[in-house]
Amino acid sequence: MSVKSTAARRTTRGGAKRRGGEPELVQLLTPEGDRVEHSEYSIDVTPDELRGLYRDMVLTRRFDAEAITLQRQGELGLWASLLGQEAAQIGSGRATRPDDYIFPTYREHGVAWTRDVDPLNLLGMFRGVNNGGWDPNENNFHLYTIVIGSQTLHATGYAMGVAKDGADAAVIAYFGDGASSQGDVAESFTFAAVYNAPVVFFCQNNQWAISEPTEKQSRVPIYQRAAGYGFPGVRVDGNDVLAVLAVTRAALEHARSGQGPMLVEAFTYRMGAHTTTDDPTRYRSDEEREEWASKDPIARLRAHLDKQGLADEGFYAGLDAESDALAKRVRDGVRGMPNPDPMAMFENVYADGHALVDEERAQFAEYLASFEDAPAASHGAAGSGKGH
């Protein structure tokens, strides 16, 4: 079985082709849940490991859904959902070793889960009450990066330092298909190649850079860009958690063994909106989304577990209860957080202050005060400060 999208259905230049003209990709588990072999990538996983991967994806999806609801209720200012990308994140995250270092963007909630970062820390950032909330060096998981593509530079520099230290570790940098057009990413590829840095560039190609399809971002499949910089690239079925695990594990070992950088393109799909400020119905079709829904990463692994008799109803019932408990903890934790201070955004902009910032601070303070003077019936959420 192959994975196709609007972008993949169009003719591409170069690279091995599968039937139908789309580029080759690594797949070990079909959408129907059947195991298949690949000549270069293979993996042996125990029943416990398979159930663990399934648990990771289910709990990550539940936490993500709860975050969307909390944002809609005014408890978060924004949320970037990972819906549909669970296999890409859990598979790659579980491929890392504790001494590997991870540089995420702002959507790697599943990777954060694999590094034991408390989901409430992620939510606190999107609520505006912390700047990340975790110590990156405790989990070797860097703080989220909102600036598009810049984390690839940080990862490359860190990997160059790892190489100079002679450490037996690798670095992995996450970015999206849209970020692949950023100059920071191109510079990262150049420096990583020249200095033979032990870094894996992990691109989650979810087909849409907000409203721009991948075909408007690149004239060739993204993984093929690596060849121009002198290091290997591979495309993996990003909805196949086993293939992602196998490919990322191999890429990290490639980097650790002194062979330099590698680019992994996880070919997946963003089932939800870019963020909670986005309306994807304005630029993509229901038919396209339905096509990708049939390749759902969680349903795929469940089908495999059921076909192989590796999970029973007791396992699923226990996981449902665990999901409910996680959702409750997330809800209660967020609602127990303080309201963000709306005036805090004016602090630490300039070390010595600035006349324009002072003027804007005064204007915003006057605006907030206008709610306090308004009739009680009109206060609503604005008066509470939640969601601002």
Catalytic residues: 270, 274, 283
Q: To 5 degrees, how large is the angle CA 127–CA 89–CA 266? A: 125
Q: Which residues contact 92 (CB under 8 A, 6 or more apart)?
A: 111, 172, 174, 202, 244, 245, 248, 264, 266
Residue 309 in tokens: 């008799």
245, 53 contact by CB (below 8 A): yes
Rounded-to-integer distance, Cα 387 and Cα 253, Å: 43
| Pairing of β 208-209 and β 212-213 | antiparallel
- For residues 94 and 252, what is the distance between their CA atoms, to the nearest angstrom? 12
Q: In the block, which residue shows the tokens 């229901």?
A: 286
How far is the CA of 15 from the CAs of 119, 161, 185, 200, 266, in angstroms? 39, 33, 22, 20, 16
- DSSP assignment of 119-174, as one string? HHHHHHHHHTS-S--S-HHHHTBPPP--STTHHHHHHHHHHHHHHHHT-S--EEEE
Residues paired with 176 in a beta bridge: 204
CA distance 309 to 332: 36
